Amino acid sequence: MNAPLTNIAHWAERCDLAAAFRWTARLNMHEAVANHFSLATDPEGRRFLMNPNARHFALMRASELLEIDADDPDTLNRPDAPDPTAWGLHGAIHRACPHARCVMHVHSIHATVLASLADSRLPPIDQNCAMFFNRHVVDDGYGGMAFEEEGARCATLLADPKVKTMVMGNHGVLIIGETVAETFNRLYYFERAAETYIRALQTGRPLRILPDAVAEKTAREWEDYPSGAAEHLAQLREILDREGSDYAS
């Protein structure tokens, strides 16, 4: 078991985030040393933890996570500067959307396939897909890599706190939430839902789409479900701990 490093601020949150990085890599939802997760550390949401530049998700450790000030214009001039697209996208979201405490952006395979379709909406064809009914937005205005101007444009699409998932057209997916556990759980289920939809399309057969009323009812039942996200992450951390992983170091 990893001993907590009590001299490092936000240790529990760092360990949750490091575990989410490790499991995302295990699910092959990462991409090389790209993609980024962040987590706000102050009440205003303008300071946040984020992965260091060019560190592979499978090697991420809690003590390595950067703490960044979204209002610091010299961030990219620091010797430990984050990736510029991570700063552009996550910095913009943490400045504009205080409700986005945790932000996870990946180019996972099935979500990116969905983002590449002319119609990138996720229809409610099963229980998992229904989780996102009327709760995701499609960005159809891709303008290139997420440097500061593009990041600011993307942030405007998350102004409605009800929208916690953004299908980034021609790009990938971005998920927001209150905690690491909530956000990672939503990321996991979105990729599963996107895979179900893509595989259903591949059959060439007609889709069985839920009526709007049933899809909305199911989405609310997901939101009111008594357990799930916290337990999911706790179980993943237990697996990593039993394997002797150094994520929490």
Q: Where are the domains of the chain?
A: 11-242
List pLDDT tens digits, range 142-178.
Answer: 999 889 899 999 999 999 999 999 999 999 999 999 9
Reduced to 3 states (helix: H, G, I; strand: E, B; else coil), residue 22 is helix
Instruction: Give the pLDDT confidence of 63-115 residue by residue, as tens digits.
Output: 999 999 999 999 999 999 999 999 999 999 999 999 999 999 999 999 999 99
pLDDT at residue 215 greater than cutoff 80: yes
Could you tell me which of 70, 86, 99, 222 has the C-alpha nearest to residue 158? Answer: 99
Phi, psi at 168, each rounded to 5°: -90, 100
What is the average pLDDT across 20-24?
98
Distances (CA, A) of 132 to 149, 219, 224: 28, 7, 14
Bridge partners, residue 167, by sequence: 138, 173
pLDDT of residue 174: 98
Report in angstroms the alpha-carbon separations of 173 from 49, 55, 77, 100, 107.
Answer: 20, 20, 28, 15, 6
Strand partners, 68: 48
Structure tokens at 56: 């592979």
pLDDT of residue 148: 86
Is residue 86 within 8 A of residue 174, CB to CB? The reply is no
* Separation between Cα atoms, residue 124 and residue 220, nearest integer Å: 13
Residues whose CB is less than 8 angstroms from the CB of residue 81 and which lie 6 or more positions away in sequence, other chains included: 53, 75, 87
Residue 17, token pair as written in the block:
């985030």
Residue 225, pLDDT score: 87
> Higher model confidence: residue 6 or residue 71?
71
Give residue 224's pLDDT. Answer: 92
CATH fold label, 11-242 = L-fuculose-1-phosphate Aldolase (3.40.225)
Q: Residue 227: pLDDT band by 50, 70, 90 thresholds?
A: confident
DSSP class per residue in 201-213 = HHHTSPP-PPPHH
Tokens encoding 129:
């897909």
- Provide the 8-state DSSP code for 145: S
- Average pLDDT of span 112-139: 98
Mean pLDDT computed over every residue of the chain: 95
What pLDDT score does 102 carry? 98
